[in-house]
A and B are shown apart, each in its own frame.
Chain A
Amino acid sequence: MSSVQSTQESTGIARFQVPALIIGVIGFAVTIFGFVSSIDAAMHAYLTSYLFWLQIVAGSLGVLCLQYVTGGEWGILLRRPLGAAARTMIIMAILAIPVVIGAKHIYPWTNLEFMREDASLRLKQGYLNTNFWMIRTAAYFVIWILWAWRIRILSLKFYEDRSPYIDLRRRGWAAAGLPMIVLTLTFFSIDWMMSLEPKWYSTMYGINFLISAGLAAFAFCTFFLSRLANVPAMSNILKPLHFRDMGNLMLAFVMLWAYTAFSEFLLTWYGNIKEEIPHYMARQEGAWGAVSLALIVLHFFLPFFLLLIRDIKDRPATIGAVAIVVLVMRYVGTLWSVAPAWGHFHYSLWDAASLLGVGGIWLFFFIQQLKGQTIIPIHETWVEEAIREGAVKING
C-alpha cells in the first residue's frame, strides 16, 4: 500500500532530541543546585514535576494495554507513541531516585516523632514506614517496566512471523495489564501523593489519579500526532476522523476526571468530618482557591465544550491546542494535589527547573524509543483499515 510505504520517510522528530536533552540537563543541574541550597523547596518541586511526567508514562502503559485488549481502530495509530512512552519507564525509575533518597524532606510520616503523637497515625505505621514504602515503590517500577517491555518483545516477535499465537499472548499480557495498572497506580498514588497528608484519606483518590494518568497520556499522544499531521510523510495518513476519535476519547477522559474529582469533593463536603475536610479547606483559601477555580474552568469546562465541537476535533491544529491545554492543566492539577500539603501557594524557580529538567530528559528517551521504526505500526493486523477509516470524506 502506497500510503504505508511513505511512512518510511523521515518525520523529523529526531531533530528535537538534542535540544530536549540540553534543556533537560540544564533544568536538572539547576534542580540539583536547589537540592544543595534549599533542599525542602527543591524536593517538593521535584516531586510535583516528576509526578506530572510519570502520569504520561504510566498512563501510556495503561492506554496501551487497553488498546491491545480492545484492538479498536481508534488506537492503532497511537500504539507506537504509547509504547515508546511506556518503555521510558526505565528512565522514570532512575529519575525517581532523588525522591526516594530525599523522602524525609517530603513525607511527614518519615518523621517517627510525628507519627507517635497521633493515635490514628500510630496505627498507620505498619504501612507508612520508609522501608515498606521503598519496597512498594521498587515493586511498582519493576512491574511497570516488565509489562512495557514484555509487550514490546512480543510485538517485535509478532512483526517477524505474524503468528496469531504471539498476538494472542500479547493480548493476554495486555488484558492482565489492566487490573495490574489499576492496582499499581492506585497504591502508587496513595504512597506517593495521598500520604503527604497522612491523616487524610479518600477512596476516590486512586481512581482519580488513574484517570488523570490516562488523560495525560492521551493528551500527549494526541498532541504528538497532531504535530506529525503537518509532516509531508504523514499528512496523507493522519486524517480528520482519526483526530475526531482521539478527541472523543480525550473528551471521555476529561469527563471521567471531572466526575471522580467532583465526587471526591462532594462526599467530603457533605460528610463534613473533621479528618477529611482539612484537605479541601487548604485548597479553598487564598491562591489555592484560585487554582481550584482554574481547575474547574480550564481542566473541565473549557476542554469539555471545545471537545464537543467537531470542527475542533477534526483539525490537527485545534485538537493539538486543546491537548496542550489539557496537559498544562494536568500539571496544575498535579501541583494542586500535592503542593498544598506544604502550605501556601508558592511557585519557585525549582518548580520550573525540575519541570523542564525531568521533561527534557524524558523527551530525549521518548524520542530515542521511537527511533528505528515507523510511527505507523505497519506490521499490525488492522493498520490499513485504521488508516482508511480516517480518510473518509466529510461533508458539511
Chain B
Amino acid sequence: MKILVTIKRVSDPEAKLKIRPDGTGIQTEGVKFVVNPFDEIAVEEALRIKEKHTGEVVVVSIGDKVVTEQIRAALAMGVDRGIFVNYTGSYDSYDVAGILAKVVEQEQPDIIILGKQAVDDDMGQAGFMLAEMLGYPQAAFASKVEISDDKKTAKVTREIDGGLETKEVGLPCIITADLRLNTPRYASLPNIMKAKQKPVKEVTVDALGAVVKPHVTIKKLTEPPKRKGGVKVESVQDLVGKLKNEAKVL
C-alpha cells in the first residue's frame, strides 16, 4: 500500500509575524519555519496506516531548496522517502493541485493525504481541487480513518455540527486531515539519524509537465487594527446600558 502525503513549509504558528513594509507578504528574516501542523497530522496518519497494513509512505513538498528541511523532518518521523518539487515562483491553490496531480500520476499512490489547510494562508482548497483533477473520491476533514482489510476502501469519519459523519470511499482516494485525527509523534533519535540516508528526489515543474499560472495573487496584507483601551463601568446597570445602547448586543 502506497500513501502519498503533501507537506507545506509554513512559519511557526507560535512566531510573532511582521508584515513587509510593501504589504506583499510577511518578513521571513529570523522566523522559524515548520511543517504545516495539519500536514504533520497527515504524516502521522499515513505512518499509522503503514504500520497496520504495511507499505510505503512518500512525502512531497513544493518550493525552493529550503523546503527539504521540512521533508527531512517528515523523514525523521518515519516517512520512507521524499519528493522535492523545485519551484520558486508564485503559485495559488489551483497550481499546487495541478503539480500534485502530476506527482500522483507518476507515483500512483493508493491514498493521498493532505492537511485540511495550511496555517499560513488558510486557503484550504488544494485537496478538493486535486480530487477534481484526478477524478478521485475524496473525504475531507477526517477525524478518523479506517482502511478495509482488503485495502480496497476507506471508512472516513468527520466531525459535523452536532455529531459525526462517516463515509466510505473507494481507493485510490483523497483524504484531508483535521485537527483531532491524531497526535503526531515526536521524532526519535534513531529515526532522525536514519533520515539522513533516506532518498529525496528533486524534480522540476517542467519535468513533471505541470503548468503554473496563478489565478489568484495576494494584493495586500494588513495588520488587524490595534485594540483600543477599554473603559471601566461604575455599576452593572451602567454595563447593561452600554451593552444595549453602544454595543447593541442585548
Verify that A and B bind, or say they do not.
no
